[in-house]
């Protein structure tokens, strides 16, 4: 993102006081002698890299009866948007805050045990949870940057080595989720059916439509892509939500599990060895976890996070790589449900293909935004002059235009831009 880019900055929550943090640290470390000496807070996410929550980094210094010197460390605090924030007005319909608190409180600890004890993978899968505060809709968890985990560049995207690592870890996450649901029937029955497309709400619909309309306006002046695709995009605007819901409707015989639901470069972190090779990947941000096909995670991941050559030329091979890792994990965990054949799973992946459309044409250009306008969900919703400038500028950069020149024909060859 360019230095001139502006982004709405949310201050740290007013309730995040020294007394509050000291109490949570005492509970987490099970040490009543802990005394907080210093608390500093600052925004934890770079401009334009988070549209769904407020992230604050806490720098703390504390002492205990047992420690001779002050201990300095960091934690991350994730909170909802303030009341009357347009983004919060959209997200509240999806149950994202309650769901993510449940994930960190109840689900991730169990998935961690399954992966470590039964799959014998000692590598971290997730950040540890310090505290879940349901009264304040907040989560405090460990800052993985302290263990040299870092987010990959959202503009450079991932090469094959990084991609294989994410798919390996994703397969274990999906396998563990399916097995947990089998062992605890009903654990994902409530509030895990509200992804970006669902039968309960279309609150995200206007944001998606507004951006597709901006794409259509950009195609009006594109002499190469416009004649081929503008009419198709205009027709797609009318059918977007219907097709989206169809792409996430589960069919008899589908393999289903806990899908991450928002799997792009900002929502996983890598750890590296001395030669700068990735050795582990962890997942973060579970607001949009859903009980659905793992194919939606694959489409989202491929469309938003892979380098173009991999995305356009190697998808079937990558699905195969993921599938074998998934089957291996399911068998180790003695999963008793039906495991689809590779042929059936490839069909399931293709049947969810429309998920790649909104990821590629709507979310990914916003994720890549590096213009000068204020970037926020509020701007996407707004019909003000500033809001229209932002939406139009999303599709004006040469990088996005070049990407569309590859993406539109790629989607079109599968019939994903035609009437379905």
Q: What is the pLDDT of residue 88?
A: 67
Res. 21 pLDDT band, cuts 50 70 90: very high
Q: What is the pLDDT of residue 45?
A: 67
Bridge partners (DSSP) listed for residue 77? 56, 140
Res. 2 pLDDT band, cuts 50 70 90: very low
Q: What is the pLDDT of residue 103?
A: 95
Q: What is the pLDDT of residue 370?
A: 86
Q: Tokens 């999963």 — which residue?
A: 335
Q: What is the pLDDT of residue 222?
A: 95
Strand order in the sheet with 129-133: 35-43, 54-63, 71-79, 138-142, 129-133
Report in angstroms the alpha-carbon separations of 15 from 24, 135, 137, 250, 286.
13, 11, 12, 42, 23
Res. 4 pLDDT band, cuts 50 70 90: very low
Res. 25 pLDDT band, cuts 50 70 90: very high
Handedness of CA 415, 416, 417, 419 (dihedral sign): positive
* pLDDT for residue 7 is more than 60: no
Res. 3 pLDDT band, cuts 50 70 90: very low
Res. 71 pLDDT band, cuts 50 70 90: very high
Pick the more confident residue, 315 or 43. 315
Q: How much is the pTM?
A: 0.92
Q: What is the pLDDT of residue 54?
A: 84
For helices 295-305 and 315-332, angle between their N-to-C axes, nearest 10 degrees:
140
Res. 85 pLDDT band, cuts 50 70 90: low
The pLDDT tens digits for 281-299 are: 999 999 999 999 999 999 9
* pLDDT for residue 86 is more than 70: no
Report in angstroms the alpha-carbon separations of 61 from 29, 58, 209.
14, 10, 47
**How far is 129 from 137, CA to CA, in rounded Å?**
14
The pLDDT tens digits for 176-204 are: 999 999 999 999 999 999 999 999 999 99
* pLDDT for residue 19 is more than 90: yes
* pLDDT for residue 47 is more than 50: no
The pLDDT tens digits for 100-140 are: 999 999 999 999 999 999 999 999 999 999 999 999 989 99
Pick the more confident residue, 93 or 226. 226
**Mean pLDDT in the chain?**
92
**How far is 344 from 322, CA to CA, in rounded Å?**
14
159 exposed, middle or buried (CB, 10 Å; 0-12, 13-18, 19+)?
middle
Got the DSSP string for 40-92?
EEEE-S-TTS-SSSEEEEEEEEEE-SS-SS-EEEEEEEEEPPPTT-HHHHHHG
Q: What is the pLDDT of residue 52?
A: 60
Q: What is the pLDDT of residue 208?
A: 96
């Amino acid at each position: 993102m360019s230095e001139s880019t502006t982004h709405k900055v949310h201050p740290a929550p007013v309730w995040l006081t020294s007394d509050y943090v000291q109490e949570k640290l005492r509970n987490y470390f099970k040490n009543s002698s802990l005394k907080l000496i210093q608390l500093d807070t600052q925004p934890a996410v770079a401009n334009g890299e988070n549209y769904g929550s407020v992230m604050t980094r806490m720098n703390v210094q504390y002492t205990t009866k047992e420690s001779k010197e002050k201990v300095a460390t960091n934690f991350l605090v994730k909170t909802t948007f303030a009341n009357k924030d347009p983004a919060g007005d959209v997200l509240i319909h999806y149950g994202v805050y309650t769901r993510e608190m449940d994930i960190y409180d109840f689900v991730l600890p169990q998935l961690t045990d399954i992966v470590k004890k039964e799959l014998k993978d000692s590598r971290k899968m997730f950040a540890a949870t310090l505290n879940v505060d349901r009264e304040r809709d907040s989560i405090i968890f460990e800052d993985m940057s302290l263990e040299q985990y870092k987010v990959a560049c959202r503009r450079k995207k991932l090469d094959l080595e990084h991609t294989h690592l994410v798919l390996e870890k994703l397969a274990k996450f999906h396998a563990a989720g399916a097995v947990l649901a089998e062992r605890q029937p009903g654990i994902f029955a409530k509030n895990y059916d509200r992804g970006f497309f669902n039968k309960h709400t279309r609150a995200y619909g206007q944001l998606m439509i507004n951006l597709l309309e901006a794409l259509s306006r950009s195609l009006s002046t594109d002499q190469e892509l416009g004649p081929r695709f503008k009419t198709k995009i205009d027709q797609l605007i009318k059918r977007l939500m219907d097709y989206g819901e169809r792409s996430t409707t589960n069919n008899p015989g589908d393999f289903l599990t806990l899908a991450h639901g928002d799997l792009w470069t900002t929502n996983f972190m890598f750890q590296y060895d001395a030669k700068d090779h990735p050795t582990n990947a962890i997942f973060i941000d579970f607001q949009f976890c859903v009980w659905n096909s793992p194919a939606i995670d694959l489409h989202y991941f491929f469309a938003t996070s892979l380098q173009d050559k991999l995305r356009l030329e190697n998808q079937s091979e990558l699905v195969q790589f993921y599938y074998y890792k998934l089957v291996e994990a399911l068998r180790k965990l003695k999963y008793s449900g039906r495991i689809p054949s590779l042929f059936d799973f490839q069909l399931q992946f293709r049947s969810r293909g429309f998920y790649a459309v909104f990821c590629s044409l709507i979310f990914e250009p916003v994720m890549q935004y590096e213009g000068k306008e204020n970037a926020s969900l509020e701007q996407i919703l707004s019909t003000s002059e500033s809001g229209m400038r932002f939406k139009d500028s999303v599709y004006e950069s040469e990088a996005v235009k070049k990407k569309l020149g590859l993406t539109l024909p790629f989607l079109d060859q599968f019939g994903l831009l035609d009437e379905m």
